[in-house]
């Protein structure tokens, strides 16, 4: 009987040791989603002295002194949750960000910078900065927004959803970068002109001209520009 009890206890002990030795398999456990992909939000407490809050993907808010009267916890989250659908006239060009507390109003404009993908802005469109209205039910364009590389910045007075979009180019919009220009006239009759129609792209003249007064216009636009052009034999202007 005593021998049987010893054998039984030995079997239990062996089972416990075997189970413990299998713990090495934890090395293959997949970490929680997003654990290795960087933060999905940025947060900071900002008060009357102002400050800068940075969030995911390079989004940033610069709050000047005096814009807030008291300390507020500012949060930037990359999220579409709760955002209304974008207008059908524009297409998404960058991530969607929720700036909270929603509806927070500033005594002075704050500067918002969001990233976008230049490749998502097709020919005939320009980047634009969009934000939702005070009730988060409709979208509006942020006037005066400026592009710097792969970011677009503008001034806002309150918090909402924000994103960069590709907006169709209107006739009143400034000429976008990389616009192709066409020669539409030449009024220096005493100078040699070796082209009837040429193109300037990013400041490079693609036809030979020695000297002259040119009239040029951006493709698809009725506006024209006049000026003097000098060029050497290598085409440098």
Complete domains list, the chain, with CATH:
41-168 (2.60.220.30), 181-230 (no CATH)
pLDDT of 115 strictly over 80 = yes
Q: Determine the pLDDT at residue 41.
A: 83
Q: What is the mean pLDDT of the chain?
A: 72
pLDDT tens for each residue of 13-69: 444 444 444 443 333 222 222 333 445 789 999 999 999 999 999 999 999 999 999
SS3 content of the chain, % helix, strand, coil (to 5): 15, 40, 45
- Sequence-ordered list of residues with C-beta below 8 angstroms from that of 157, at least 6 positions apart, any chain: 105, 106, 109, 110
Closest CA to 133 of 153, 156, 151, 108: 156
What is the structure's pLDDT at 157? Answer: 96
Q: What residue has token string 């924000």? A: 162
With 70 as the cut, is the pLDDT of residue 225 above it? Answer: no
Angle value at C-alpha 112, between 109 and 114, nearest 5 degrees: 165
What is the predicted pLDDT for the residue at 39? 58
* Alpha-carbon gap, residue 197 to 177, rounded angstroms: 21
Mean pLDDT of 65-85: 96
pLDDT at 70 over 50: yes
Which pLDDT score, from 0 to 100, does residue 134 have?
87
Going by C-alpha positions, the residue among 83, 72, 81, 80 that lies closest to residue 43 is 72
Q: Where are the alpha helices (DSSP H) in 86-174?
A: none
pLDDT in the model for residue 197 = 43
- Phi and psi torsions of 234, nearest 5°: -85, -5
Is the per-residue pLDDT at 224 higher than 80?
no
108-112, 154-158, 169-173: least confidently modelled range: 169-173
What does the pLDDT read at residue 174?
57
- Mean pLDDT (whole number) for 194-215: 43
pTM for the model: 0.59
- What residues form DSSP beta bridges with 66? none
């Amino acid at each position: 009987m005593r021998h049987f009890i010893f054998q039984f206890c030995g079997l239990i002990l062996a089972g416990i040791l075997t189970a413990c030795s299998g713990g090495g398999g934890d090395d293959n456990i997949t970490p929680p989603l997003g654990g290795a992909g960087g933060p999905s939000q940025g947060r900071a407490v900002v008060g009357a002295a102002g400050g800068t809050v940075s969030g995911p993907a390079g989004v940033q808010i610069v709050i000047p002194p005096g814009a807030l009267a008291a300390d507020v916890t500012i949060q930037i989250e990359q999220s579409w949750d709760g955002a209304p659908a974008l207008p059908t006239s524009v297409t998404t060009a960058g991530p969607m960000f929720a700036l909270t507390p929603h509806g927070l109003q500033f005594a002075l404009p704050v500067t918002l910078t969001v990233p976008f993908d230049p490749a998502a802005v097709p020919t005939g469109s320009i980047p634009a900065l969009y934000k939702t209205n005070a009730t988060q039910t409709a979208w509006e364009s942020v006037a005066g927004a400026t592009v710097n590389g792969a970011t677009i910045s503008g001034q806002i007075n309150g918090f909402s959803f924000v994103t960069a979009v590709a907006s169709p180019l209107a006739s009143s919009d400034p000429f976008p970068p990389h616009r192709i220009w066409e020669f539409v006239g030449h009024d220096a009759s005493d100078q040699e002109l070796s082209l009837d129609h040429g193109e300037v792209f990013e400041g490079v003249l693609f036809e030979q001209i020695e000297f002259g007064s040119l009239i040029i216009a951006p493709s698809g636009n009725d506006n024209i520009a006049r000026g003097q052009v000098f060029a050497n034999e290598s085409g440098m202007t």
